[in-house]
Structure 1
Amino acid sequence: MTQADTPKDPLSALLVCLADGDFHSGDELGESLGMSRAAVWKHLQKLTELGLPLTSIRGRGYQVEGGLELLEKERILGALDPEARRRLNVLELFRATDSTNVRALARGPAEPSGYVCLAEQQTAGRGRRGRAWVSPYGRNLYLSASWNFDGGAAALEGLSLAVGVAICRALEASGLQGVRLKWPNDLLWRGRKLAGVLLEMTGDPVGQCRVVVGIGINLSMPAGAARGIDQPWVDVSEACREEGLAPLSRNRLAAELINQLLPLLADYQRSGFSDYRNAWHARDAFLGQTVVLKSAQREQLGVARGVDGSGALRLEVDGQEQLCHGGELSMRAVS
């Protein structure tokens, strides 16, 4: 296994110093980082540009309120199980990038399966149907993984739903129960959006192709950043508080995602969605409920009856079942 490293820069080093949430004086930071107080001040100004809550008190110094758990490659690698470690080709961490999916898609055509990247921040994070994915610095999880498949799009039926199951299992293994799945790409907790999946494909649509699986999880969303979210949402921190659980570690959860995701991708061409269908139904947020299915052209009212073996939604309309495939469709419950 090879590993790609992002070079340490002064801003990253400063963030490591402030990640503990304690106050640090300018002199202390300058000594730790080997730079002048003026240089420290210059880099501190960049923290506000990242949206981090920097507090400054005369006589005490500087503090990132609440601290940060920065992503650490060695901690993630150390928490991988043997199968995931064997499937992993490259693990790459970025301080900031436009989009982890874009990074994964940009890998060369000869790239083997098993590339995984995470970022502290996305400046142009993307969700489904062209929506922006709110991606504040150091608070949530933004992960992408790429895998090569034969058979094109037909081999990938139901994959986004299976990935949803894998994310649920990663959260459950970390201690958080009760996460539910909303067809076709969202994860909910008590009816509010917690996470999402974005699949993108390059290559031959009927032959050899590469799939990039993008995962975004609201872990500890700052209220200011959340103003850009246009639907009810929740983060893992709030869910854990309401359940009386200790906060989840970003690094540990990243490792659990990789533990679940890479074996799924490695085996999916053989198993398909059939190995995940029952697990998806067990977590279906809208099973048996009246829903509205919406496309750009029309809205359809019906009762959600789960999914078929390809991951298509089974929608009962006037006593007749219709199969609805993801595409540009969205679904909501009828209140």
Structure 2
Amino acid sequence: MHAETPKNPLPQLRPVLELLADGDVHSGESLGAALGVSRAAVWKQLQKLERLGLPLESVRGRGYRLPGGLNLLDATELRAGLRPPARDLLDELLLHDRVDSTNARLLGLLEKNSGHGVAMLAEQQTAGRGRRGRQWISPFSGGINLSLGWQFGGGVQLLEGLSLAVGVAIAQALQEFGVPDVRLKWPNDVWCRGRKLAGVLLELSGDLTDRCAVVVGIGLNVGLRGDAASAIDQPWIDLNSVCPGIDRNRLAAALLNHLLPLLQSYPERGFAAYRQQWQQLDQFAGRPVRIVSVQRQWSGIAEGVDDTGALVVAVDGERRLFHGGEVSLREG
């Protein structure tokens, strides 16, 4: 097992972030003393925090604060929440303050025959990706941006339904914190109270007929703010609005506790082992839906999924199967 090395593209800002993370007011003088820099240098760092989209507040005559504080990711705290077998399956933990895309970075490692068992998290992504090329909005410290790399032998056919099984794992992790009304939307969304809470993006590399690798990317909304929230083009929800106070490090650890054993055993167990749990959480079971492709669409009644993770829809009395790479599911 490798020791984790936190990666900080903004290393000069991490100390001031940690000081302001408590949400209390700190004077420029006290910040300068703690950081060993001048008040002018402190002011320059605070301006950079504002450019990160953080709601820095100036309290006249007293100093500065981040209202509500920050729950920063911390490798030591995260590792403390890991249980066996996840603790043994995790090969390396990489934490970033800001990256383009954790999925893209981890794919790069896997293409160099590295990255197996590596978990990468970022406080913020500047080019986070969603399904079908959409952007994933991830304000600084506002969610969980997690990518997990894993190598498989035997070809991509062994991974049928994996994105749905990952959805089950996310739901199980959320249930540990008492998050209410968690549901799954085929093929890769986690919903809460009828709105999107998290998304899953799987990306593959290698020989798809023999030895291949997958990056499991997860974006989960914890506390979205202002401009970032307004940029989202679909109904969304975050954890702070339904179950405030969940520690991000504990939540990330819980996700890894469920995901790592899943990836280890998936080639043998397949999606069939998760199908019943998925069906119990199906957001659209028995409801009218539309299935949309580039060229046409179908209307029918959702009837869950089969053992491969294909969506089952009754269209004009005929049972039809749809696969995730081909179509999108919408409410009827």
Same fold (TM over 0.5): yes
Distance in 1, matches of 2:183 and 2:83, equals: 25
Match of 2:234 in 1: 231
Task: Specify the SS of the correspondent of 1:229.
Answer: coil
Supply the AA of the counterpart residue of 2:265.
Answer: D
Where structure 1 has 5 or more consecutive residues not aligned to the other structure, the ranges are: 241-245
Give the deviation of 1:112 after TM superposition: 5.5
Distance in 2, matches of 1:162 and 1:285, equals: 15
Match of 2:287 in 1: 289
Match of 2:273 in 1: 275
Per-residue Cα deviation, 1:267-298 (whole angstroms, up to 9, x for no partner): 00110101100000000000111100111111
Indicate whether 1:298 and 2:299 are aligned: no
1:211-222 superposed matches below 5 A = 211-222=214-225
**Identity within the alignment, %:** 53
Distance in 1, matches of 2:228 and 2:113, equals: 38
Is this contact kept in 1: 2:180–2:242, CA < 8 A?
no
Distance in 2, matches of 1:300 and 1:26, equals: 61
Distance in 1, matches of 2:135 and 2:187, equals: 18
Task: Provide the alpha-carbon RMSD of the alignment.
Answer: 1.1
Is this contact kept in 2: 1:129–1:328, CA < 8 A?
no
Supply the AA of the counterpart residue of 2:80.
Answer: G
Is this contact kept in 2: 1:160–1:185, CA < 8 A?
yes
User: After alignment, is 325-334 or 186-195 more displaced?
Assistant: 325-334
Match of 1:71 in 2: 73
TM-score between both structures, scaled by the size of structure 1: 0.96
1:311 to 309, 312, 316: 309
Indicate whether 1:257 and 2:255 are aligned: yes
2:185 to 182, 189, 193: 182
Task: Specify the SS of the correspondent of 2:124.
Answer: coil
Distance in 2, matches of 1:150 and 1:35, equals: 53
Supply the AA of the counterpart residue of 1:281.
Answer: Q
Match of 2:5 in 1: 4
Where structure 2 has 5 or more consecutive residues not aligned to the other structure, the ranges are: none
Is this contact kept in 2: 1:10–1:33, CA < 8 A?
no
TM-score between both structures, scaled by the size of structure 2: 0.97
Supply the AA of the counterpart residue of 1:208.
Answer: R
Aligned residues between the structures = 329
Supply the AA of the counterpart residue of 2:36.
Answer: G
Is this contact kept in 2: 1:98–1:123, CA < 8 A?
yes
1:113 to 93, 113, 116: 116
1:124 to 123, 127, 150: 127
Distance in 2, matches of 1:162 and 1:83, equals: 18
Match of 1:164 in 2: 167
Distance in 1, matches of 2:125 and 2:47, equals: 19
Distance in 2, matches of 1:267 and 1:81, equals: 17
Give the deviation of 1:32 after TM superposition: 0.6
1:146 to 146, 149, 152: 149
Supply the AA of the counterpart residue of 1:9.
Answer: P
Indicate whether 1:85 and 2:83 are aligned: no
Is this contact kept in 2: 1:158–1:312, CA < 8 A?
yes
